[in-house]
Amino acid sequence: MNDSRRAQVLRAIVEDFVATNEPVGSKAIVQRHTLGVSPATIRNDMAQLEAEGYIAQPHTSAGRIPTDLGYRMFVDRIDEFKPLSQAERRAILQLVDGESDLDGMLDRTVRLLAGLTHQVALIQYPMVSQAKVKHIEVVGLAAGRVLVVLITDAGQVEQKIVVLAEAVDEDGLARIRERINAEYAGRRLSRIDARTSEQTDAEAAAGTPSNTEATSEDSAAGGPAEATITRIRDAVTDLVAATREERIIMAGTANLARSGHEFGEQMAPILEAFEEQVVLLKLLTSMAEDHAEISVRIGRENTHESFSSTSVVAAEYGRVAGSSARLAVLGPTRMDYPTTISAVRAVAKYVSSALDRG
């Protein structure tokens, strides 16, 4: 389709249908849009658009509604996006900048995105393979139990309760904490392999005693036993593995329920797909293959059949420590695309900036 009056008619039909959720007729287009032609001319243009598959007539004598192809043509021709209001920008800054750790920031961000767009929002955890261990905390809970907390320089926080074979007092915990941080602080997550405690290159170059030697010295001095240190190391390895797991945070499913009448029988498969994180991960991964700042999948363009009646708008955010992830909005194909794209783009930008500063 060239840049003609028919393109303007298609845009009018999309905008009116999104606003009213009612089929759009030629008279309505003439009344609401300044196209400078008669209803008869508009009807001829609509007939051509229908023949080309851009619009459809849901009922006899009714107006027209956009098809997936029509939405696609509309989105591809968007040349102006609605800027976020000052209040919306302030909300983004307050909620995103107010968090010091990755988990909290992503949780509040996905809720904000759902609120801005009135759709379902998704955020994929970044795979930060180049991140480093910033600090490991070891906190005593009760006799023989401690909480091990891993904090990375990318802001990730993972924790695990460990049951020890011996009770450890505060002095013992301090020695464990010191030893474990000496071993792991500053190390890349990708270099911490399963159930190993190899020296770093820096330790080896400096002649730092091996883990076994240091642990033996601790034990001889009345410090924690080797079995205790080994369990803490194993916990650290498990926590590092947890940072590599692909995860998604989701918010705003109630918004989808409010649009349930638009999905009909497709609602149940959509909700079932939401329960399978692997399905959502595959969806966002496939959108990353578009290699675009903003990727939009409409209706049957989505690779998973459950999402054939939805549209998804996604953007990459925060190339953190050598990696990145995507955040997205999912809703019915009858979506306010310009506003949604603006919100997704702005939130991705602010999250990226916050992670860079972190």
pTM above 0.85, yes or no: no
| Average confidence score pLDDT of the chain | 82
Q: Is residue 31 within a helix (H) or strand (E), and if so which, with residue range?
A: helix 26-32
| pLDDT greater than 90 at residue 324 | no
Q: In a 3-state reduction of DSSP, which class is residue 39?
A: helix
Closest listed residue to residue 117, CA positions, set 297, 298, 342, 284: 342
For residue 72, the model assigns a pLDDT of 96
Give residue 259's region: left, alpha or beta (phi > 0; psi -120 to 50): alpha
**DSSP strand pairing (120-124 vs 248-251):** antiparallel
* Residues 274 and 253: beta-carbon distance below 8 Å: yes
- Which is higher by pLDDT, 127 or 106? 106
358 C-beta neighbours (distance < 10 Å), count = 15
- pLDDT, tens digit (0-9, with 9 covering 90-100), for 121-143: 999 887 655 678 999 999 998 87
- Which is higher by pLDDT, 284 or 68? 68
Domains and CATH numbers, the chain: 5-76 (1.10.10.10), 86-126+246-357 (3.30.450.40), 133-243 (3.30.390)
E runs forming strands in 85-226: 120-124, 133-142, 145-152, 157-163
For residue 178, the model assigns a pLDDT of 93
- pLDDT, tens digit (0-9, with 9 covering 90-100), for 252-277: 988 887 776 777 777 888 888 888 87
Cα(334)–Cα(311) distance, integer angstroms: 8
- pLDDT, tens digit (0-9, with 9 covering 90-100), for 175-227: 999 999 999 998 888 788 644 444 444 443 444 444 444 444 454 445 567 88
CA distances from 286 to 103, 153, 180, 265, 282 (A): 24, 28, 39, 25, 6
| pLDDT greater than 80 at residue 246 | no
